[in-house]
Amino acid sequence: MIHSTAIINPEARIDSNVKIGPYSVIGKDVSIGSGTVIGPHVVIDPYVTIGKDCNIFQYAAIGAIPQALNFEGEKTFVKIGDGTIIREFVTIHRGTKSGGGMTEVGDKNLLMAYTHIAHDCKTGRHVVMSNNATLAGHITIGNYATIGGLVAIHQFVRIGDYAFVGGKSAVVKDVPPYIIVSGDRAKLHGLNTVGLKRSGFSKNTLLSLKKAYRIIFRIGLTLNEAIERVKADVEQIPEVVSLIEFIKSSQRGITR
């Protein structure tokens, strides 16, 4: 059902099972999947693809041109995954040519009120961004990560799977998977034990990650020394391997 006051560009592709509320504006080359609900006063600009069963609340703005000085009007995109909830006043901007041309939000994300996702960012599955959390450009957020309220994350930073960023943090370096960080500037506060338990990680996995965490971050080794020590002394389960590979591939440095 589309409200009579909504403005829909004739080039938009909207499934017959989509609901669009009053005074919303849908631009050209927008695609909206079955079961998605668009609330009142939502603006979806051109070149946006929205998956199935999403729920977008009033005054959200999706697909505006990026706040990037090098943007020259090129055709770039936003993609929203299935089952994502986008609350009031969320803003998500299109990508840039230099950043790959795509801003992507994964499946089943929860983007709380006033969150901002800038150009060329990518979030994984089941990401939670709390109120007023802000991503600068070119940021990658891993699966099941949680970003607290009033968090600001520097451009090009990566947040690993199952990481937890505490509220009011300023994050300027990569956050490894499975870790809690908090503060201005953000510092490590241990393994995300509660989150990992809630997600069903086994006792053996938690023990292995705790041992790896201690070796890498708590006994004064260099990162290279710590990685070699972890390889020698800790069972190489997938989660430990993922932690090591994330650290080895960091370009901005690791939050410590």
The answer to whether position 125 is within a domain reads yes
The answer to whether position 217 is within a domain reads yes
The answer to whether position 207 is within a domain reads yes
The answer to whether position 83 is within a domain reads yes
Residue with tokens 């009120």: 113
93, 116, 119, 154: the catalytic one is 119
pLDDT in tens, 133-183: 999 999 999 999 999 999 999 999 999 999 999 999 999 999 999 999 999
Clarify whether residues 23 and 133 are in a common domain. Answer: yes
45, 107, 120, 161: the catalytic one is 120
Clarify whether residues 114 and 200 are in a common domain. Answer: no
pLDDT in tens, 209-251: 999 999 999 999 999 999 999 999 999 999 999 999 999 999 9
Give me Rg for the CA atoms of the chain: 20
Clarify whether residues 133 and 18 are in a common domain. Answer: yes
Query: Last residue of some domain: 108, 138, 168?
Result: 138
**For the range 142-145, what are the long-range contacts, defined as Cβ-Cβ under 8 Å and sequence gap of 24 or more?**
142/177, 143/106, 144/195, 144/199
Q: What is the span of the domain harbouring residue 235? A: 196-248
27 in active site: no
The answer to whether position 191 is within a domain reads no
21, 99, 124, 137: the catalytic one is 137
The answer to whether position 65 is within a domain reads yes
15 in active site: no
The answer to whether position 186 is within a domain reads no
Entry pTM? 0.96
Query: Last residue of some domain: 117, 138, 159?
Result: 138
Instruction: For residue 78, list its beta bridge partners.
Output: 48, 103
